[in-house]
Amino acid sequence: NSEDVRCKCICPPYKDHSGHIYNKNVSQKDCDCLHVVEPMPVPGPDVEAYCLRCECKYEERSSVTIKVSSVVLLA
């Protein structure tokens, strides 16, 4: 596949849970904490507060471009 897509969620520390980065291949519309953070590190009542702290971004990149650039840089 020449294009890679993913959603990256960066979640800072929350209560007694350390910070964590989550990556998952989901559609752009599903790029949010509830669809990407698995397993959810906090119990049900804390999910909303935990997810509000997470920053999720949809990313697209071209594997072919990365491979070609790497070859050019190494040559």
User: 3-state class of 22 per DSSP?
Assistant: strand
Q: Is the pLDDT of residue 32 over 80?
A: yes
pLDDT of residue 2: 43
Alpha-carbon gap, residue 43 to 7, rounded angstroms: 23
Alpha-carbon gap, residue 19 to 12, rounded angstroms: 4
User: 3-state class of 14 per DSSP?
Assistant: strand
> What does the mean pLDDT of the chain come to?
87
pLDDT, tens digit, 9 for 90 and up, residues 38-67: 999 999 999 999 999 999 999 987 666 556
50 is in which domain, residue-wise?
Answer: 3-71
Going along 1-75, which residue ranges are E strands? 3-11, 20-24, 55-62
